[in-house]
Every structure is written in structure tokens, then in C-alpha cells.
Amino acid sequence: MNTTLHYLTPSSDERGRAPLRGASIRNISLRVALVRGPARLPWRSAASADAEALPASDVLQAARAVAGRPGAFLIGGGDPLRRGDLPTLLHGLVELRAENLGLCVPGAGVTTAVVEELRFVGVQRMSVPFHCARRDAHDWLVGHPGALRMALRAIRTCVDAGMPVEAEVVVTRPTMPHLAETIDVLTRVGVRTISLRRLTAGDVEAAELVLLSPRLSLLADDLERAATIALQRRARLVIRDFPLCVAPRLQRLFADTDAEVWLTPGATGAAMDARSLAPIEARSSDTRIETSPGCPGCPGAPLCAGAPADYIARFGWEEFADSAPIAERVQENVAAQLNVRPSGTMVFSWRGPRRVRCDGCADTPPSAGGHPAAGEHAAAGPEPTRIVRARLVEAARFRPALLRLVGAELLAHPNAAALLYDAVRLFSCVECAGEGSAIAKWSDLDLRRLKDLRRIDVAFYGPDATSHDAHCGIAGSFAATLRGVERLREHTAIVVGAYAVIHDARLIPRFVDAWSRGELPGQPQFRLAAEGSVIEDVVECARRMPAGVGRSALLAVLPHCLCDEAGLAMDDHADAESSESAEPAFGVAFGRRVEYTPRGSDPVGAFASCGDDGNVCTVIGCPGTAIGWQRNARSERWMQD
């Protein structure tokens, strides 16, 4: 095996160069879904019922959204051969992009006559799911008795008819030891292209992922044996969705993350307007699968898919950790550890049950199929407590001067109080912020144990119960948050504050009035949401507000250059708040220090330079323009003179 793999392993001269691109991957597949729902592999016969089939008009509209992208269409989902409108659909796709049109079928109904008919209407390649050469394993995975025999018959028919056919192999835990045998069978029946796919959380039910997903650290030997057979038989093997560190000697076989574009029409199947088509145009395999920073040597996209977030959520991050800092820490003695002076601000979070309906304020980004489906995030469940504790211990190695725990879901974790207690024991100074309605259910003991927590800030998405609960999506959230604040004040000496998450300027005066009447805790503080409107409207709102803490808090998150143009003087309080907001912070992932990206309900938010040319604003102390907000845009002022 080593002799064969010699051609895949970089030479000593090549190791010092940039990582090699997937030289064997020449084409881009534009995968068009024929069924409703998020982008998922068509790997099971019962995964999509006939009732979920999309009309041809919706499929063609999704295909038109990528008119300017390179690549060839590959359509699949359900059983395409059972569609009565398949000839019309294929004809429409040929008119849009005829080159290398592909069709993914489970295998039923594939005869020589059907293949010739498909070739006549423009199909130039076929794709057939084939997961294991052992009948019992394959049929069990697909969920249909006789599925292996049906897939083999379809593949032989395509080969005999001269139709190029690709086998898509989803690598699972029970079939991983038989991977080489599967490649052997496929190459013997004439398959010349084989794709090995990683099973993702979107491809199966939540409870099945742990059962079916193989451990990535144990895959190398099986992948190398499979690659050896494929090379000996002169077949093209493509590895997709796996990080490179799974089998680094096979890096030339890994597909780039931009080698596929997944097109998923709206969940309702209704015709989409220009606004709903825009995200489809940019949707690709690296957004179908949420990733995290990879191993220490990860080259990142498009060469590597990185560490899969769905995998880490179930199995932990230790497989991707950097062993060098850990070994260095083990060698330290107590005196050396005490001499290290804490510095910097670390931002840390953990996954809990989804608490905010708004995607712009939530911690979890939308799935590749669009906005998260109802219960999708809830199905993932809170991050296991043991994993969070392991990450906290690893994060403590960086000795930050301040640990800031943030997130809309953080305080709602079933063991949030215990995890906060762990944090205050591990770190010298801890603050936390997020949606706070869950605090009302903490026990008196939980609250007393958190006496060393420096500060808690609770998020408000509206200035009153009606607006807050509607935006949050949880009935009684506003009242529960206030009850939690009162319990904190009663049982602890923790400083309690609040911040308003703003999507536009309309609610700002009402928030300021609520703070002035004492209906909200602490002093005014604003966070410009990741999905905003026009920043000039907020500047205009600040201009009309009377001088005071409310206006100062608002000025702290606004571009100072725009405020100067509006005749707004920046007082000292606003400058101080702006400086605090702009304090550099870092995160930690897989035992490594990484750049921190603000979350949806982070009280600080994210800012970009004010100039359209990317230059830094010339006004000293300017935080920049909040990301997600329009600037210099024409808008109707919502306030009348």
C-alpha cells in the first residue's frame, strides 16, 4: 500500500510549499434539489416522500439563480424517474445549461431504454448512491430491502449503455471497515468516478448521527486502503466534506469546498422573489455544512472543509486540538504559572436551547436550506456539560484578565448556573450577557454560589413585554427576565445591567423612556443588531434626543464622523463607552487562540471601517459602522419635524 500511496504523498520539497489543490477535481456540480427542505444528500430512498416533491417551476427558478456561476447541474432528491414532469424539467435545465447535465437516482426503474431516453433529452451523466458492498448493511442504511441489488443493476445498465456513472458512498460507522471492499466492487462493475461523502447532521435524524457517524480520527487507514484500490483500477476517487487532517496523505483526492453549490428552493415551494434568490446564489458546500477552525495546520477553505461543527457538537473538539501548547503547559511548574500576568479579554460561549426567534439575534446561523426550520436547532440540543467544562479548563490556560460569557442561549442551558460557577472558579474576573429569562428559575443556592461573578447584563429586544416577547418568540420572556433581575439583586451583590438590541431607530426613544422610568435595570446600553436598517436614521434619532445618559449610550455605537456631520458633540461619557466597546477580544477554539466574531446577542457587536474604500475613519475614537447596517442609503425619515 505504501508504494501506491507514494504518488499521493508530498515529497520533501513539496512539504514546504503551499498546500496542493485537488488537482483531480476539475468540475463544479450545481446540485439542484427536487424536494423541499434544507440541502441534504439524497442517500435514502425514504428520505423524501412524493408529497415533498417541488414543482418544476420552483426547481427551474432556483437553477436560474446561479446563471453567472460556472459548473454543471446535478439534480436529485426523492426518485426523479417517478416524476411525470421529468422530461419538461430536464428540457428546461438543458436550455439554461446543457453541458454535463447529471441526474441522481436511487436505481429503481433504470433500464437501457430509460438511459437512452435520458440521453436523448440531454442527461450526460448519472449518479447512484452506493454505500456498502454488503447487502444487509446497504439495505439497512437505505431503508429499502433489495436496494443494493437495485443500485448494482442501475450501475451496470449505465455502464453497458455507455452512460458515465458516479457512485456516491456515504461513509458511516458500520460500513467503514468495508470501504475498501465497496470500492473494489464498484470498480469491477465499471464505475470510474466514486465520491466518498461525510454524513452530516442535516442528512439524518438527530438521534442517528451518533449511531452512524464514524470517528474522524479512525478513518485514515480505511480511506487509504480504499484509495489504493481506486488507483490500481484507475478510477477517480473524490473525498468530500471531510477535513484534510482525516487522511493527510490523500490530500490530492480531497475536493475543494467550492466544488459544489447546493441550490435549495424555498421551504414552502412557492415562487421566490429577488430577495429570496440572493442567498441561494451564494450558497455552497461550505455553508451547507457549518464548520469551525480546523486542526493546527488547517489551510482553510477552499482547500479544507475545516472541523465540522455538527461533528464537534456530538463528539467534542479534542481530535482537532493542538497538542504543542498542552505539552508546554504540562512542563510548567507552579511558580512559572503564577508569574504569568493575566491580560486581554476572552469571549466564550456554549450552546443551549434556542431562545430567540429572530435569526439576526440568535446564536446559531441559518442552515444552508434557509432559515432554521421549526425545532431544527432544538433537535441539536444543548451542548453537553462535560464538553463545556473541558473547553473552560482548556480556555483557562490563556489566563485572560476578563472572561466575557455571551450568547442568547447561554443562560438557558440546563446547567448554566453550574457552568457559571465553574467559570468563576477558573478565571479571575468573569462577566456574562445574554437573554436572561432563564435566571428566574435558578435556585437560591445557584445564585449564592455566583457571588464572585462581576456582572450580568440581560438582553431586551423590545422596551415592553409585547414587543420583547414578540421578537424573542417566548411568551412571558420579558416578565421572566425582570423577575430574574430582582432575584439577582435580592440574593447577590452582582452588578446587573441591561442592553437593548436594536434593528432600527423606531424603538430607541421608547427604550430610553423605559430606562428613565426605572422599568429596565442599569443604565442605557445599546447593541446595533447584526441585521439592521439605515444607520443615518439612528444618528437622526440621537440628534433629536436630549443630552443625557441615553444619548451618550447611543452615540457610543454610532460612527463619530456621521455624528459630527449631524452636529452632535461627542461627550466624555460616550467616548469612554466607545473605547470599552472597541476593546480587542479573542476567542478560543480547539485549544487555540482565534479571532473573535461577535454573536447575535453579544452586547458589543461588530463594526467595520466607515469609509467605502475600507480606510479607517479619520475621527479619533470612532467605532466604525455597525456590520449589517446600511450607510449613505436613501430612506424615508420615520420622524417628522
Weakest mean pLDDT among 182-196, 241-255, 605-619: 605-619
**Rounded distance, CA 497 to CA 525, Å?**
8
Q: What is the pLDDT of residue 282?
A: 33
**Distance separating alpha carbons of residues 109 and 125, to the nearest angstrom:** 16
Mean pLDDT of 15-42: 62
More confident residue, 577 or 45: 45
Looking at the predicted structure, is the pLDDT value of residue 575 above 50? no
- The reply to whether omega before 302 is within 30° of 0 (cis) is yes
Q: Is pLDDT at 377 greater than 70 in this prediction?
A: no
624-639 pLDDT, tens digit per residue, is 888 888 876 544 444 4
Assign 432 to helix, strand or coil.
Answer: strand
Give the pLDDT of residue 487.
Answer: 94
Do residues 411 and 434 make contact, with C-beta atoms less than 8 angstroms apart? yes
Q: Are strands 585-589 and 592-595 parallel, antiparallel or unpaired?
A: antiparallel
* Cα–Cα distance, 513 to 546 (Å, whole number): 12
- Positive or negative torsion for Cα 38, 44, 46, 51: positive
Residue 559 contacts residue 623 (beta carbons within 8 Å) = yes
The pLDDT score that the predictor gives to residue 201 is 86
State the DSSP code for 444. Answer: H
Nearest alpha-carbon partner for 601 in 412, 381, 329: 412
- The per-residue pLDDT for range 467-488, each reduced to its tens digit, is 999 998 889 999 999 999 999 9
Q: What is the mean pLDDT of residues 489-495?
A: 92
Confidence bin at 641 (pLDDT 50/70/90): very low
For residue 24, give the C-alpha cell: 483531480
Q: Which helix (H) or strand (E) holds 572?
A: helix 572-581
Instruction: Output the pLDDT for position 637.
Output: 45
pLDDT, residue 366, reads: 36
Q: Answer whether 485's CB lies under 8 Å from 440's CB.
A: no
Residue 196 has pLDDT above 60, yes or no: yes
The pLDDT value recorded for residue 517 is: 92
pLDDT of residue 635: 44
Name the grid cell of 162: 455507455
**What is the band of 307 on the pLDDT scale with cuts at 50, 70, 90?**
confident
What are the helix (H) ranges across 376-507? 376-380, 385-395, 416-426, 444-449, 465-472, 477-491
Residue 101: its pLDDT value, please?
93
Q: Is the pLDDT of residue 254 over 90?
A: yes
Residue with cell 477517480: 236
DSSP H helices in 332-415? 334-338, 376-380, 385-395
Give CA–CA dist 24/194, Å, rounded.
12
Residue 38 region, left (φ>0) first, then alpha (ψ -120 to 50), else beta? beta
| Rg of the Cα atoms in the chain | 28
Per-residue pLDDT reduced to its tens digit, 127-163: 999 999 999 999 999 888 999 999 999 999 999 999 9
Phi-psi region of 221 (alpha: psi -120 to 50; beta: other; left: phi over 0): alpha
Q: How far apart are CA 315 and CA 210, in angstroms?
A: 8
pLDDT for the residue 633: 54
pLDDT at residue 319 tops 50: yes
Scored b (16 or more CB within 10 A) or e, 418-456 reads ebbbbbbeebebbbbbbbbbbbbebeeebbebbebbebb
